[in-house]
Every structure is written in C-alpha cells, then in structure tokens.
C-alpha cells in the first residue's frame, strides 16, 4: 500500500516507504550484474518515496556495490547465509562475510530454500539470528503451498512459520524484521495472488506479528507480496490493503521490467 502523502504530524513518525526487492536467484553473475546496474541506473533515478533492494547471487554482491557507486539508493542483500558464524561448511557463506561484501539485507526462509535445501522453520530462525548479529536487515519469507491452500490451512501454515522463526529472537530483534508473503503456488508460475488473497494473508501475518511483538510494531512492519509480480500487475498489488511492497523474481532480471515495477504508483 502506498503511504499517505508525507503529512508527518507532531509526534507521529512516518511509516516506512514501500520496498521493491529483486531476487535474482541463480542468475546474473558479476559481468551481467554490472551491465544490469548500468542499464537500470539509466532507467530509474533516485527517489525518496520508496526503497529498492537487490539480492544478487553472493558472488555478485561486491560487483553490485562497485557498479552502484554514487547510487546509494540501490541497496544490496544476500539471498542466503549459513546458520553458523564460521566453520568447515564448504560452499556456504556466513552473514558476517556477506556484510563485509556490502550486503545490508538478507533473505531467510525463501520457499526454494525450504524445498530444495530442506530449510526448516527452526533453521530459518537461526539464519535470522545470524543476519541480525551481523547488522543485516532480514526479510523473512513465508507462504503456503497449493495443497495447503486447497486444504484451507493458510492461517495454520503462516502462524507456524512465523511463530517458529521468531521463537528464539528477543523483543528488540523481532522489531527489526521485514516480511515477504510468497504463496508457493505463485512463485515463478505466472499465477498471481489476487489483491484479495494478498490482503487476507497480509492481514493474518500482521495479526500474528502483533501477537509476537506489539500493535505498533505490527502496524509499522513492512510486509511484501511476492509471486509472479510483473509490470502489468504491480499497480493493483501495490494498491491492495496491507501490501507494503513486492519481492520480485523473474521480472527483476530485466532492467526495463524491474524499472517499470519500481516506478509503480507514479505513472
Ligand atoms: C521469488 O522468487 O521470490 C519470486 C517471487 O519469484 P517470481 O517473481 O519469479 O514469482
């Protein structure tokens, strides 16, 4: 949901601005990353009414930061980190290394990690803790499968995922989280949740966040929608109640299409 025009009243702090996040998954290595940033920067200028964050593969984080010099509005994050701070874990990346490379944000709980790598709710909670230990802002991804939706288990699944992931985090750490509702049946499938579906799920999440934190934290929490977001459906998704931004996979790989998405609400 786009925020009300500025209008900050005395004593009332402004709500966080909408967030547009790009999850590149296993695409765009360093060379393609730098070409993308050059092109994207020419299409999308800095604006203070929204936040834009990219999640390149870990090997492209340093390149992203270097390519985006002078464009501090284009932030960068890490797609996944190991739950331990360091050690003999061939192929893994720690949160502190990601921070050292320039990552300011981190995903945890993406459905592809849950499905392909067996990331459990508890492991996701440990990853949130490591990200926070390194000063990285986590985005906790949650969402139901098609089967769970058809079995009318949306509330149960979202409650279980968020409850388990936040269990070991104290109150101040819980306040530092951003969320992404990503129905598994909508990721990379071309099927998008309707605005009503998105609002229903975001409403469940916001109530669970209030239960696990407090009303003010829940009201201020950024909850993204993710699942086949494209330039032609961004406007209606962003206008949906409770939707504070989007997490975009496929359509973020093309600079033109992601620039169009990031410009939504202003055309
Ligand atoms: C994602 O992977 O987070 C995602 C939302 O992908 P897509 O936009 O391709 O559905």
Whole-angstrom distance, CA of residue 131 vs CA of residue 106: 7
The confidence score (pLDDT) of residue 16 equals 87
Residue located nearest, by CA, to atom 6 of ligand 1: 249
Question: Is 191 one of the catalytic residues?
Answer: no
Beta bridge partners of 180: 141, 224
Alpha helix segments (H runs only) across the chain: 30-43, 61-67, 95-101, 111-117, 121-133, 146-150, 154-166, 171-174, 195-212, 215-220, 234-238, 255-262
Alpha helix segments (H runs only) across 73-120: 95-101, 111-117
Nearest to residue 187, comparing CAs of 142, 127, 129? 142
Both tokens of 86, joined, read: 């360091």
This prediction's pTM: 0.94
Could you tell me the distance, in angstroms and rounded to a whole number, from the CA of residue 128 to the centre of ligand 1?
Answer: 20
Question: Is 202 one of the catalytic residues?
Answer: no
Helix (H) or strand (E) holding 45: none
Q: Which atom of ligand 1 is nearest to the CA of 25?
A: 2
Residues 6+ apart with CB under 8 A from 196: 240
Work out the number of other CB atoms within 10 angstroms of the CB of residue 261. Answer: 26
Question: Ligand 1: which of 140, 229, 232 to mutate, most ligand atoms within 8 Å of CB?
Answer: 229
Catalytic residue among 126, 182, 200, 202: 182
The confidence score (pLDDT) of residue 37 equals 98
Cβ atoms 13, 216 nearer than 8 A = no
The confidence score (pLDDT) of residue 190 equals 84
Whole-angstrom distance, CA of residue 231 vs CA of residue 234: 5
Residues 6+ apart with CB under 8 A from 131: 81, 95, 106, 108, 137, 138
The confidence score (pLDDT) of residue 1 equals 54
Residues in contact with ligand 1 by the CB-under-6-Å rule are 23, 182, 187-188, 226-229, 247-251
Cβ atoms 158, 201 nearer than 8 A = yes
Work out the number of other CB atoms within 10 angstroms of the CB of residue 87. Answer: 8
The confidence score (pLDDT) of residue 9 equals 43
The confidence score (pLDDT) of residue 188 equals 85
Q: Which residue has the tokens 């998008």?
A: 192
Residues with pLDDT less than 50, the chain: 3-11, 267
Both tokens of 185, joined, read: 């049946």
Q: Which residue has the tokens 């989007």?
A: 246
The confidence score (pLDDT) of residue 13 equals 63
Residue located nearest, by CA, to atom 2 of ligand 1: 249
């Amino acid at each position: 949901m786009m925020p009300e025009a500025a209008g900050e009243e005395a004593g009332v702090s402004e709500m966080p601005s909408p967030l547009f996040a790009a999850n590149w998954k296993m695409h765009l290595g360093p060379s393609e990353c730098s070409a993308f940033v050059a092109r994207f920067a020419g299409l999308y200028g800095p604006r203070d009414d929204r936040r834009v964050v990219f999640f390149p593969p870990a090997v492209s984080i340093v390149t992203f930061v270097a390519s985006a010099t002078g464009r501090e509005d284009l932030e960068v994050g890490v797609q996944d980190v190991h739950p331990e701070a360091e050690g003999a874990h061939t192929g893994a990346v720690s949160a502190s290394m990601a921070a050292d490379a320039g990552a300011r944000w981190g995903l945890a709980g993406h459905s592809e990690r849950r499905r392909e790598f067996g990331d459990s709710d508890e492991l996701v909670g440990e990853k949130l803790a490591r990200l926070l230990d390194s000063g990285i802002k986590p985005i906790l991804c949650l969402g139901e499968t098609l089967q769970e939706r058809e079995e009318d288990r949306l509330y149960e699944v979202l409650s279980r995922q968020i409850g388990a992931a936040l269990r070991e985090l104290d109150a101040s750490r819980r306040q530092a989280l951003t969320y992404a509702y990503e129905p598994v049946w909508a990721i990379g499938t071309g099927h998008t949740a309707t605005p009503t579906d998105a609002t229903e799920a975001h409403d469940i999440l916001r109530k669970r966040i209030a239960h696990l934190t407090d009303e003010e934290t829940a009201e201020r929490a950024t909850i993204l929608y993710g699942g086949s977001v494209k330039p032609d459906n961004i406007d209606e998704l962003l206008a949906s109640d409770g939707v504070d931004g989007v997490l975009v996979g496929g359509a973020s790989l093309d600079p033109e299409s992601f620039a169009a998405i990031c410009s939504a609400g202003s055309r």
